Amino acid sequence: MSESPPEDDTPLVAARGIVKTFGAFTALGGVDLTVKRGEIHALLGENGAGKSTLIKILGGLLAPDAGTITWDGRPVAIDDPATARALGIGIVFQHFALFEALTVAENIALALGPSVTPRNAARLVEALGSEHGLPVPADREVGTLSVGERQRVEILRCLAQKPRLLILDEPTSVLTPQEAADLFATLRRLAAGGCSVLFISHKLDEVRALTSAATILRAGKVVAHADPRRETAASLAAAMVGTEIPELKPAAAHALGPPRLVVDQLASHESDPHAVALKDISLEVRGGEIVGIAGIAGNGQKELFAHLAGERLAERAAMIRIDDRDAGMLGPTERRQLGAAFVPEERLGHAAVPNFSLTDNAFVTRHATSGAARGGLLRRSAARRIADAVISRFHVRTRGPGTEARRLSGGNLQKYVIGRDMIADPKVLVVDQPTWGVDAAAAAAIRQALIDLAAEGAAVLVISQDLDELFQVADRIAVLSLGRLGPARPVAALSRTDVGLAMGGIAAAEAERAHEAAAGAGEGTHAPHS
């Protein structure tokens, strides 16, 4: 480190009265945040509470409209990312900024500037990796790494710049429980070494296990400073949301019907080297049940959803059957006409058109199944009735059906795009990441709606990376890993650890291989710093 931290309890970073507005929208309305040296500090809040805006300000990506930031007790202006890096602020964003076609070492060398060659960087990767318990194969192309490994690369890239504050934005959302545990061990070691960590999450159990202080944001304001170890998950959630989250009501006992969605040895060939080929996927979802598909992102979820929704066609029609009709070669519209409905992961740009009103967005999935576009003519009044019905039944908070989709919060838009198909009482519903980035209250409402839909006899398939969610709603869970789907087992017979291990099964094997390769190549290297 260039300077040794002063021996007093001046906080490392103290932000006071930070204000940031975008037009009429106030993202941050006078926020205070204090992170002490060597502290693991949680920044909690629902989506849209202002967490991302605040870390972008700390990272020099956004300029605050008002407020001051002090660093080591000294006022600073963080005008750009270079200034933030020079101070010692490193950020690992939720969406990685890595070059997939370059190796790990080349990626790190790029971040460190022209004085560092990829060879030096490779040595640095080995040294930092063993120092912090973050094994990564330095000579592998990033595109071939698992998501967990990519995250390690991102963290190493920050560590290579010797940060004094490491900020992680929802780091565990892409990890198996085991990988998350490894990450926590690394973060604790870092903190013990004097590096402060700002940890952003909405998984409250993790926050309670890992952090010793928390700042809770709601709608751009700090609503509480707390010690998570002395709170319960419920009390933290109540502070985040402002109200109690309703408990899910399990479905009343109901008999299962015949299989309504059948996938039979579905396989895909991918021309894109970064896509995951599906391998002999077989699955049955009976009427009245919810089947969950667990797995870490990038194990074939996107490809599976595209094939189920008809955005991509199967090789044989019989590979996908909807209510006993061969549907593998049908497009999305024909599958919807068979009574199926689909909700993709991306709300904006996939499920909904950002610049279209909610009324016009009703046409996107319902043009052939609602009579709103009969004879090729748009009947806006019919579409508006659909939009109005969804808004009132699913409590979508919006000014009305004329509002553009992009103006809705994540949770409200998600309720809209799920509700848009749900009010048609679909026979089969396939939904990918139903509550991704959705606030807790909306997530509870969506999960309840899924449970209720299955109770009425629909076959529901939920693809999700959130194990807690799957254990809450699913009757059976199967794990998707590297394009292969394991057997769907009843939830009662499964533990989280089992599922987590199956999720990470292949990732773990890969890491082991990488370890061996690193042990072979890394002999005689020496840590260039320490």
Partner 1 sequence: MRLILEPRAAPPVWAKWAAPFAALAVTGLIGAIIFALLGKPPIESLRVMFLDPLLDPLSLEDVVVKSAPLVLIAVGLVFAYRSNNWNIGAEGQFVIGGLIAGGLAVAAAGGGASGPWLIVAMLAGGALGGIAWGAIPALLKIRFGASEILTSLMLVYVAEKILDYLVRGPWRDPKGFNFPQTISFEGWARLPTLGDGRFHIGIVLTLAIALFAAFVLARTLYGFSIRTFGESPRAARFAGFSPAKVSLSAFAISGGLAGLAGAIEVAGPIGQLQPSISPGYGFTAIIVAFLGRLSPIGCIFAGLALAVSFIGGEQAQILLNIPLDLTKVLQAVLLFAILGADALTRFRPRLIRSAGAAV
Phi-psi region of 67 (alpha: psi -120 to 50; beta: other; left: phi over 0): left
Residue in 2, 3, 9, 23 binding partner 1, rule: CB under 8 A: 23
Which residues partner with 14 through β-bridges?
34, 70
Binding string, 297-326, against partner 1, x = CB under 8 A?
Answer: ------------xxx---------------
Angle between helices 177-192 and 496-521 (to 10 degrees): 60
Q: How far apart are CA 510 and CA 341, in angstroms?
A: 36
Q: How far apart are CA 404 and CA 382, in angstroms?
A: 18
**Which of 174, 240, 302, 244 has its CA nearest to residue 438?**
240
The least distance separating partner 1 from the CB of residue 21, rounded to whole angstroms, comes to 8
Contact 401, 388 (CB under 8 A): yes
Residue with tokens 């949301």: 241
Residue in 333, 392, 495, 497 binding partner 1, rule: CB under 8 A: 333
Between residues 193 and 371, which has the closer beta carbon with respect to partner 1? Answer: 371
The least distance separating partner 1 from the CB of residue 489, rounded to whole angstroms, comes to 31
Contact 192, 212 (CB under 8 A): no
Binding string, 345-384, against partner 1, x = CB under 8 A?
Answer: -x-xxxxxxxxx---x--xxx-xx----x--xxx------
The least distance separating partner 1 from the CB of residue 22, rounded to whole angstroms, comes to 4
Is 332 a binder of partner 1 (CB under 8 A)?
Answer: yes
Residue in 71, 184, 199, 342 binding partner 1, rule: CB under 8 A: 342
Is 114 a binder of partner 1 (CB under 8 A)?
Answer: no
Residue in 4, 9, 74, 113 binding partner 1, rule: CB under 8 A: 113
47: CB partners within 8 A, 6+ apart: 202, 409, 410, 411, 437, 438, 439
Between residues 309 and 488, which has the closer beta carbon with respect to partner 1? Answer: 309
The least distance separating partner 1 from the CB of residue 11, rounded to whole angstroms, comes to 21
Contact 202, 525 (CB under 8 A): no
Is 24 a binder of partner 1 (CB under 8 A)?
Answer: yes
Q: How far apart are CA 477 and CA 239, in angstroms?
A: 32
Between residues 403 and 472, which has the closer beta carbon with respect to partner 1? Answer: 403
Helix (H) or strand (E) holding 17: strand 13-22
Binding string, 27-46, against partner 1, x = CB under 8 A?
Answer: --------------------
The least distance separating partner 1 from the CB of residue 38, rounded to whole angstroms, comes to 24
Between residues 385 and 407, which has the closer beta carbon with respect to partner 1? Answer: 407
CA dist 251 → 257, 283, 470 (Å)? 15, 23, 15
**Burial class of 520 by CB neighbour count within 10 A (0 to 12, 13 to 18, 19+):** exposed
Residue with tokens 């900020």: 167
Q: How far apart are CA 157 and CA 74, in angstroms?
A: 26
Which residues partner with 479 through β-bridges?
294
Residue list 184-243, contact with partner 1 (CB under 8 A):
none
Q: How far apart are CA 498 and CA 190, in angstroms?
A: 29
Is 63 a binder of partner 1 (CB under 8 A)?
Answer: yes
Between residues 24 and 192, which has the closer beta carbon with respect to partner 1? Answer: 24
The least distance separating partner 1 from the CB of residue 24, rounded to whole angstroms, comes to 6
3-state secondary structure (DSSP) of residue 401: coil
Residue in 86, 267, 423, 517 binding partner 1, rule: CB under 8 A: 86
The values of phi and psi at residue 265, to 5°, are 50, 45
**Which of 263, 274, 237 has its CA nearest to residue 484?**
263
The least distance separating partner 1 from the CB of residue 76, rounded to whole angstroms, comes to 9
Residue in 1, 22, 399, 512 binding partner 1, rule: CB under 8 A: 22
Of the ranges 142-150, 339-347, 465-473, 478-486, which one interacts with partner 1 (CB under 8 A)? Answer: 339-347
The least distance separating partner 1 from the CB of residue 310, rounded to whole angstroms, comes to 7
HSE-up of 524 (CA within 13 Å, CB side)? 2
Q: How many residues bind partner 1 (CB under 8 A)?
A: 45
Is 329 a binder of partner 1 (CB under 8 A)?
Answer: no
Between residues 238 and 378, which has the closer beta carbon with respect to partner 1? Answer: 378
Contact 248, 472 (CB under 8 A): yes
Helix (H) or strand (E) holding 442: helix 440-455
The least distance separating partner 1 from the CB of residue 368, rounded to whole angstroms, comes to 7
Between residues 184 and 305, which has the closer beta carbon with respect to partner 1? Answer: 305
Of the ranges 77-85, 256-264, 443-451, 482-490, which one interacts with partner 1 (CB under 8 A)? Answer: 77-85
The least distance separating partner 1 from the CB of residue 25, rounded to whole angstroms, comes to 5
Between residues 37 and 336, which has the closer beta carbon with respect to partner 1? Answer: 336
HSE-up of 99 (CA within 13 Å, CB side)? 11
Residue in 66, 77, 101, 209 binding partner 1, rule: CB under 8 A: 77
| DSSP designation for 6 | P
**Binding positions for partner 1, rule: CB under 8 A:** 22-25, 63, 77, 79-80, 82-83, 85-86, 113, 161, 309-311, 331-334, 336, 342, 344, 346, 348-356, 360, 363-365, 367-368, 373, 376-378, 407
